[in-house]
């Protein structure tokens, strides 16, 4: 099998996800260890620990105008993380859920809101939700009945949101009202017959890159839903993707594998033809 993406760093992560291009560097999370990490300029150096939380850390976005501050999908809710290590919870909506839950993937949209999904540890069908954090800090349950949501990823103008429901093997595309953040009726964008769609990002041509868990592949889909590229990597569980300029970064996971290979859990990179924008920031009022 030809390999298109090569491991860049020596680190191996349990569940590397939430990879983003932020302020000229690449950051990512190792979900079960609660660590936010930054990729060093020197690939021989280890990943830098930016901060640690005492709970699983699903994803972060930078907070505009507050250097070193992040909004995070963490534990059973959403919080603000300060540069001094302080934590301020905005909401913990999954605290009292009937299933054991944690937050999973999340991202900010071009209008300054933050979106994050929850999931049951046992991937109970329909137990999960997607939450929207408005600029005033209000947390709203925006989509219910999900199983393992990943993403979301947004078009450049913020009027389209792509959301994977991984276990169901689908990516849906939702219209987004720019003023209110309300979602319109979703359309099925891609269905996967092999593997599970996981982390996603949109490039400068509006195409969607998707890490496909269980297949060792990353796919690129044009806005019309036609696949234009399939890249391979020597890890079974690719989990997150981002574009840092014209360099594609892909995270992967070792967790859950009975016999992990030497590259499972690595971070991979490859040059691509179409670059992508940096991650959007959460912009509080």
What lies within 8 Å, CB to CB, of 220 at 6+ separation is: 203, 207, 208, 209, 210, 227, 228, 229, 230, 231
For residue 250, list its beta bridge partners: 241, 268
DSSP codes, 227-244: EEEEEE-S-S-EEEEEEE
Give me the catalytic one of 109, 165, 198, 264.
Answer: 198
- Is 198 among the catalytic positions? yes
Question: Between vectors from CA 10 to CA 6 and to CA 14, what angle results, nearest 5°?
Answer: 95
CA–CA distances in Å: residue 117 to residues 7, 77, 212, 225: 28, 9, 18, 23
Residues catalogued as catalytic: 198
């Amino acid at each position: 099998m030809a390999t298109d993406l090569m491991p860049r760093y020596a680190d191996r992560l349990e569940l590397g996800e939430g990879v983003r291009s932020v302020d000229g560097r690449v950051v990512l999370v190792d979900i079960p260890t609660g660590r936010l990490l930054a990729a060093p300029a020197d690939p021989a150096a280890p990943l830098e620990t930016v901060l640690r939380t005492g709970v699983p850390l699903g994803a972060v976005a930078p907070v505009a105008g507050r250097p070193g501050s992040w909004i995070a999908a963490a534990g059973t809710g959403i919080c603000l993380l300060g540069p001094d290590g302080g934590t301020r919870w905005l909401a913990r909506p999954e605290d009292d859920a009937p299933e054991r839950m944690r937050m999973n993937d999340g991202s900010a949209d071009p209008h300054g809101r933050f979106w994050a999904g929850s999931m049951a540890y046992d991937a109970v069908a329909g137990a999960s939700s997607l939450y929207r954090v408005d600029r005033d800090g209000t947390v709203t349950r925006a989509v219910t009945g999900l199983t393992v949501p990943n993403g979301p990823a947004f078009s450049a103008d913020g009027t389209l949101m792509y959301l994977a429901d991984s276990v169901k093997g689908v990516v849906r595309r939702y219209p987004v009202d720019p003023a209110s953040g309300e979602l319109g009726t979703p359309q099925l964008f891609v269905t996967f017959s092999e593997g599970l769609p996981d982390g996603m990002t949109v490039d400068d041509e509006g195409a969607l890159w998707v890490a496909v868990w269980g297949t060792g592949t990353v796919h690129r889909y044009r806005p019309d839903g036609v696949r234009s590229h399939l890249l391979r990597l020597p890890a079974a569980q690719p989990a997150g993707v981002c574009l840092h300029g014209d360099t594609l970064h892909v995270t992967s996971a070792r967790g859950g594998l009975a016999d992990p290979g030497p590259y499972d859990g690595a971070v991979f990179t490859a040059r691509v033809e179409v670059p992508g924008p940096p991650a959007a920031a959460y912009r509080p009022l």
